[in-house]
Structure 1
Amino acid sequence: MGFWTVVLIIVLAGMAFSAWRTKHMTQHGITEDFLGNQSIQDRGASEEMQRELEELRERVQVLERIATDDRESKRLSAEIDELRKN
């Protein structure tokens, strides 16, 4: 067995290990940043945050509608007052 054959086997073994490690970490919800720091992702918390985000979006839509309607009614009221003065 030549030198380059051994190098090739070592490289292939390293690639296989890296693929297995990535699959294993993904299955268990472990993420790793570019510095190698690992953190566990809680799927339940993620779903809860998505639900809360959707609720907040709905609330913002309601507040925007209230603010817009109020502004429109104030403008209309000001126009009516202006017409009464004339």
Structure 2
Amino acid sequence: MDFGDATFVIVLIGLSYSAWVINNWIRAKNGYPLEDEFGGKTERSDTVETKALRQENRQLHDKLDAMQDRMVVLEKIVTDRGYSLHDEIEALRDRQPNNGVPLNVKYGEKA
């Protein structure tokens, strides 16, 4: 192909235009502002559906923050209470039973 030929110039312009169209298609698909032919940006207008999704997203983030706060409190309860609970269980194991009737059943025997 001869670089001075008009065909090369037309192919180059076609490739540039195609790349611009593909670039704008990708930007529109992902919600970015679009470029016009003079390099300016065109913002997308929010639709009713987009506004509803943003509000739902905000509510879910608030709910998640509240759940994280609750999780922190529960973790503190479990970790602070865990050691004393272990001590209480061991104290119950060490204590001799003083009431009830022994069953005299050995492990592994059938009744």
TM, length-normalised to structure 2? 0.47
Q: Post-superposition shift, 1:70?
A: 1.8
Query: What RMSD in Å do the two structures reach over aligned CA positions?
Result: 3.1
Q: Post-superposition shift, 1:48?
A: 2.2
The number of equivalent residue pairs is 74
Partner of 1:51: 62
Matched residue of 2:32: which SS? helix
Letter in 1 for 2:32: T
Partner of 2:36: none
TM, length-normalised to structure 1? 0.57
Kindly provide the CA deviation profile for residues 27-62 of structure 1, in whole angstroms up to 9, marking residues without a partner as x: 449xxxxxxxxxx79322222222222111111111
Letter in 1 for 2:81: D
Between the two proteins, what is the percent identity of the paired residues? 19
Distance in 2 (alpha carbons) for counterparts of 1:77 and 1:19: 67
Which blocks of at least 5 consecutive residues in structure 2 are unaligned?
Answer: 34-43, 95-111
Distance in 2 (alpha carbons) for counterparts of 1:43 and 1:4: 48
Please say which of residues 12-21 and 40-49 is displaced more in the overlay. 40-49
Q: Post-superposition shift, 1:10?
A: 1.0
Specify the structure having the higher radius of gyration (Cα): 2
Letter in 2 for 1:64: E
1:4 aligns with 2:15: no
Please say which of residues 8-17 and 48-57 is displaced more in the overlay. 48-57
Matched residue of 1:26: which SS? coil
Distance in 1 (alpha carbons) for counterparts of 2:58 and 2:19: 33
